[in-house]
């Protein structure tokens, strides 16, 4: 069972109110409500300044993982770790405000022809959609 459409975006997103730091906390808490932990937090603004001496807007990538689903995915496909964890981006917009975007796991798993992964990625998508909707 594969789902391939040209209209499918590789992310789900929402513009939200609040300060950047408040939104990071809200996203982390919403992820926890859906069974995800944040394994990594990459501060892209800081890294670009440090490595390239460029100024960039506030932009963080949260590497979120739901252990139960990660285990199921790894049992189904041993190389799937190349696509884990689920990344969630929090960024300041040029127009003001904050945007939160999460990977669409169904879209990212299209390259892997494995029906078990399709089922797992569909459930993860539902959870990430609830996270984004709750913000």
Amino acid 60: pLDDT:
98
Cα torsion at 117, 121, 122, 123 (round to 10°)? 110
pLDDT in tens, 96-121: 899 999 999 999 988 898 999 999 99
130: confidence class by pLDDT, cuts 50, 70, 90: very high
Contact of 92 with 98, CB cutoff 8 Å: yes
Give the pLDDT confidence score for residue 110 in this predicted structure.
87
SS3 16: strand
In the chain, the domains with their CATH numbers are: 11-134 (3.30.310.70)
What is this structure's pTM? 0.91
Q: How far apart are the C-alpha atoms of 62 and 16, rounded to whole Å?
A: 17
* pLDDT tens per residue across span 50-100: 999 999 999 999 999 999 999 999 999 999 999 999 999 999 999 889 999
Token pair of 48 as six digits? 């670009």
What is the per-residue pLDDT across 3-57, written as a single tens digit (0 to 9) for each?
444 568 999 999 999 999 999 999 999 999 999 999 999 999 999 999 999 999 9
């Amino acid at each position: 069972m594969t789902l391939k459409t040209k209209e499918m975006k590789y992310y789900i997103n929402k513009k939200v109110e609040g300060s950047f730091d408040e939104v990071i906390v809200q996203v982390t808490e919403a992820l926890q409500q859906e069974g995800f932990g944040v394994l990594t937090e990459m501060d892209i603004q800081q890294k670009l300044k440090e490595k390239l001496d460029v100024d960039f807007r506030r932009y963080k990538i949260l590497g979120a993982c739901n252990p139960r689903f990660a285990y199921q995915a790894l049992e189904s496909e041993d190389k799937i770790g190349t696509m884990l964890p689920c990344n969630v981006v929090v960024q300041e917009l040029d127009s003001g405000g904050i945007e939160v975007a999460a990977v669409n796991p169904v879209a990212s798993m299209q390259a892997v022809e494995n029906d078990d992964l399709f089922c797992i990625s569909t459930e993860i998508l539902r959870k990430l959609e609830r996270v984004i909707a709750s913000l």
